[in-house]
């Protein structure tokens, strides 16, 4: 219902990130963006961002619950929107070391995003001992998936170094927030619309029974595969414990060309190599904690984008989830890549993703009028520690430099989220020839961040060493 008087409904999948945000689980994603040069003037940067807000209207919208909780929430324009409530400027205390910065980033990630305003924020960090600055960006996963979060970030950037900010401000006035009568009317219309969709589906099935049968079988097989996973729980490991609200975040960078060299040697993809690095790090962590890893295969929640090329720039989640294998029981680093590559190929050929899409698609039939109580069981399963040990997300970023007010973006360190009873998340993003592994932990859950980061570094090094360098050409 985009553009209607009552706003736009969240999909049931988007809503699942809201319903799962309780206890210590915070469903914000984002990135730490590092720039060369002096921190921009505050007024110039705010003007620059304000001139581009019209390109993503969602940035001025907040959540609005329907009366009696009939259906999923709406996105509605925030009548009290002020850009300065979302763009904050902070300085590191002298001397502005790297350690001070990483400590600040961890503190900025701890509070959940306030739901009484649009679900995003930027912290512009200055005061480094050398000439650089950072932007710590967060947005709620209900608003954006990994791909569209990158798209939001692109609003800041130019492909050429332009020192002057955009100054033209598109006029904007918030439309009125829809009242209870409008929203109740939407629930009633949603009920009739669902009946209409069901009728159209039956007519199409009768008109083309063969195609309908194949589609139904694929969907049922997919749902069966998803259901079967519940009977094959993820292994019990110290990663899946109760978590609180504290966060610690750090990152490891690797050369994309080196990962490509490994993937060519292993006959895999860069995604397989990235997952193998995460697997190697987790293997080392579990061994360090005294866990027997022989024959153990962790299960990762691996989001897979189904966002079409022409959907870039649109917010919301266009994802399906796979239960990715992390074979920590395999000691040889190159063999881990091959095992992961074969397993991921099998997953891509399975109906698992179709099953997940079918379940959420069915939920969306009822999102206009069903109370969340009826949709919550699916949402709870979505991040269940019975299915997944941790989130490992990997998205490709741009392979050319970007700039903000003439300053070059030098690094992007991606930020994942911690679901309930998930003490670790690893987000992976490539940018301009570099791959960054963003490592997020809940320190009170017994996971030592520095140790895990060192294990990621070691996993990168051992995989690179496992592939001999090609002899130099004479």
pLDDT tens-digit readout, 129-170: 999 999 999 999 888 754 555 556 667 888 899 988 888 888
In this predicted model, what pLDDT tens digit does every residue of 23-43 receive, in sequence order?
889 999 999 999 999 999 999
Q: Is residue 209 predicted with pLDDT exceeding 60?
A: yes
Question: How far apart are alpha carbons 1 and 190 in whole angstroms?
Answer: 10
Please list, in sequence order, all residues whose beta carbon lies within 8 angstroms of the beta carbon of residue 2, skipping any fewer than 6 positions away.
8
The dihedrals phi and psi of 34, each to the nearest 5 degrees, come to -110, 135
In this predicted model, what pLDDT tens digit does every residue of 385-418 receive, in sequence order?
888 999 999 888 889 999 999 999 999 999 999 9
pTM recorded for the entire structure: 0.87
pLDDT (0 to 100) of residue 314: 47
Using a pLDDT cut of 90, give the percent of the chain over it.
54
Q: Identify the sign of the CA torsion 402, 404, 407, 411.
A: negative
Q: If you classify domain 228-396+431-465 with CATH, what class do you get?
A: alpha beta
Please list, in sequence order, all residues whose beta carbon lies within 8 angstroms of the beta carbon of residue 261, skipping any fewer than 6 positions away.
464, 467
The dihedrals phi and psi of 123, each to the nearest 5 degrees, come to -120, 115
Please give the residue that has the higher pLDDT: either 445 or 313.
445
pLDDT (0 to 100) of residue 308: 39
Bridge partners of 271? none
Residue 359 contacts residue 222 (beta carbons within 8 Å): no
329-349 mean pLDDT: 90
Peptide bond connecting 95 to the previous residue in cis, omega within 30 degrees of 0: yes
Question: How far apart are alpha carbons 350 and 104 in whole angstroms?
Answer: 43
- 289-317 burial, b for 16+ CB within 10 Å, e for fewer? eebebeebbbbbbbbbbebeeeeeebbbb
> Picking from 213-227, 255-269, 319-333, which range would have the lowest pLDDT averaged per residue?
213-227
| Burial tier of 413 (Cβ tally within 10 Å: 0-12, 13-18, 19+) | buried
Beta strand pairing call for 298-305 and 390-396: parallel
The dihedrals phi and psi of 376, each to the nearest 5 degrees, come to -60, -35
pLDDT (0 to 100) of residue 383: 77
Nearest residue to 239 (alpha-carbon basis) of 339, 140, 385: 385
**Position 11 confidence tier, pLDDT thresholds 50, 70, 90:** confident
In this predicted model, what pLDDT tens digit does every residue of 424-433 receive, in sequence order?
999 999 999 9
The first and second tokens of residue 365, run together, are 């039939």
Residue 141 contacts residue 276 (beta carbons within 8 Å): no
Please give the residue that has the higher pLDDT: either 471 or 384.
384
Torsion angle of alpha carbons 121, 10, 60, 101, nearest 10°?
A: 10
164-191 mean pLDDT: 77
pLDDT (0 to 100) of residue 315: 46
Please give the residue that has the higher pLDDT: either 365 or 88.
88
The first and second tokens of residue 464, run together, are 């690179």
The dihedrals phi and psi of 14, each to the nearest 5 degrees, come to -60, -40
pLDDT (0 to 100) of residue 3: 41
Q: Is residue 2 predicted with pLDDT exceeding 50?
A: no
């Amino acid at each position: 219902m985009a553009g209607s008087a009552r706003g736009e409904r969240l999909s049931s999948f988007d809503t699942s990130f809201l319903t799962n945000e309780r206890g210590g689980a915070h469903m914000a994603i984002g990135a730490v963006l590092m720039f060369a040069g002096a921190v921009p003037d505050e007024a110039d940067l705010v003007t620059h961002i304000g001139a581009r807000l019209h390109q993503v209207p969602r940035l001025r919208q907040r959540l609005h619950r329907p009366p009696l909780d009939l259906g999923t929430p709406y996105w509605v324009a925030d009548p009290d929107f002020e850009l300065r409530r979302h763009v904050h400027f902070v300085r590191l205390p002298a001397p502005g070391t790297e350690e001070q910065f990483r400590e600040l980033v961890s503190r900025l990630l701890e509070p959940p995003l306030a739901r009484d305003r649009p679900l995003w924020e930027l912290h512009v960090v200055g005061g480094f001992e050398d000439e650089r600055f950072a932007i710590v960006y967060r947005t709620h996963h209900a608003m954006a998936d990994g791909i569209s979060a990158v798209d939001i970030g692109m609003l800041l950037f130019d492909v050429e170094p332009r020192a002057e900010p955009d100054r033209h401000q598109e006029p904007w006035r918030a439309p009125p927030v829809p009242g209870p009568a409008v929203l109740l009317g939407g629930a009633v219309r949603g009920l009739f619309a669902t009946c209409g969709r069901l009728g159209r589906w039956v007519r199409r099935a009768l008109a083309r029974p063969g195609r309908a049968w194949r589609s139904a079988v694929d969907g049922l097989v997919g749902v069966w595969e998803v259901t079967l996973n519940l009977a094959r729980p993820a292994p019990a490991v110290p990663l899946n414990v109760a978590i609180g609200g504290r966060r610690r975040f750090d990152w490891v960078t690797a050369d994309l060309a080196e990962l490509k060299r490994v993937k060519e040697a292993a006959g895999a993809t860069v995604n397989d190599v990235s997952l193998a690095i995460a697997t190697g790090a987790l293997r080392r962590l579990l061994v360090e904690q005294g866990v027997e890893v022989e024959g153990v295969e962790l299960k990762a929640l691996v989001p897979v984008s189904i966002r079409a090329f022409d959907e870039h720039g649109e917010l919301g989640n266009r994802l399906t989830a796979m239960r990715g294998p992390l074979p920590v029981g395999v000691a040889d680093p190159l063999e881990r890549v091959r095992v992961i590559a074969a397993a991921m190929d099998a997953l891509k050929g399975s109906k698992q993703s179709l099953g997940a899409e079918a379940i959420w698609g069915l939920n969306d039939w009822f999102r206009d009028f069903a109370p969340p109580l009826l949709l919550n069981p699916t949402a709870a399963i979505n991040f269940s520690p019975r299915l997944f040990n941790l989130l490992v997300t990997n998205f490709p970023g741009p392979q050319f430099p970007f700039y903000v007010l003439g300053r070059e973006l030098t690094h992007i360190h991606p930020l994942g989220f911690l679901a309930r009873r998930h003490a670790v998340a690893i987000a992976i993003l490539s940018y301009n020839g570099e791959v960054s592994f963003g490592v997020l932990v809940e320190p009170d859950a017994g996971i030592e961040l520095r140790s895990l980061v060192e294990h990621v570094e070691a996993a990168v090094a051992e995989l690179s060493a496992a592939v001999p360098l090609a002899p130099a050409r004479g």
